[in-house]
């Protein structure tokens, strides 16, 4: 099975890209992250909305004790200035190097197993020559399977 039929074409994240640019591309394609292509042309990780927001906006203690938090934590609200500062950051310090990649020739079962092993709902489809085909997400996969089997 050619997995490219299930992929969502997206942009690639590159060094120097801002968080605003990343978020814009992710929202446009309805994906949670983009593959990160290093300056040497190789894909080495991903830029993830979730990871950036976790690293920049949430202290570790809050994550560990989330069940104890109330709904009105005024001191931790992001002001417009902090939001602007977040969007102006470059993604370079927030790359996740343990990203899930598969080749277009991989069987569907490998794509699903790779997602599970990386604890994610999407993988990037990239061939041996570092050509990027798109993002294969669990929802796009389900959608394609439904459309092929009405």
Q: Provide the pLDDT for residue 102.
A: 95
Two tokens at 109? 């079962």
For residue 134, what pLDDT band results from cuts at 50, 70 and 90?
very high
Q: Provide the pLDDT for residue 42.
A: 95
- Note the pLDDT tens digit of each residue in 73-123: 555 556 667 778 889 999 999 999 999 999 999 988 899 999 999 999 999
Beta partners for residue 36, in sequence order: 13, 45
∠ at Cα 14 (19, 22), nearest 5°? 25
Question: What is the pairing mode between strands 101-102 and 33-37?
Answer: unpaired
Beta partners for residue 48, in sequence order: 33
- Note the pLDDT tens digit of each residue in 21-53: 999 999 999 999 999 999 999 999 999 999 998
């Amino acid at each position: 099975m050619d997995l490219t039929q299930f992929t969502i074409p997206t942009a690639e994240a590159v060094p120097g890209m801002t968080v605003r640019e990343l978020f814009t591309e992710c929202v446009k394609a309805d994906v949670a992250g983009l593959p990160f292509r290093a300056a040497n042309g190789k894909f080495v990780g991903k830029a993830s909305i979730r990871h950036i927001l976790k690293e920049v906006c949430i202290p570790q203690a809050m994550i560990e004790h989330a069940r104890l938090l109330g709904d009105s934590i005024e001191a931790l609200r992001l002001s417009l200035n902090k939001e602007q500062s977040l969007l102006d950051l470059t993604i370079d310090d927030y790359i996740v190097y343990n990203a899930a990649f598969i080749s277009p020739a991989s069987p569907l079962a490998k794509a699903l197993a790779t997602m599970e092993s990386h604890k994610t709902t999407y993988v990037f489809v990239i061939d041996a020559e570092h050509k990027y085909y798109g993002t294969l997400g669990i929802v796009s996969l389900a959608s394609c399977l439904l459309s092929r089997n009405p």
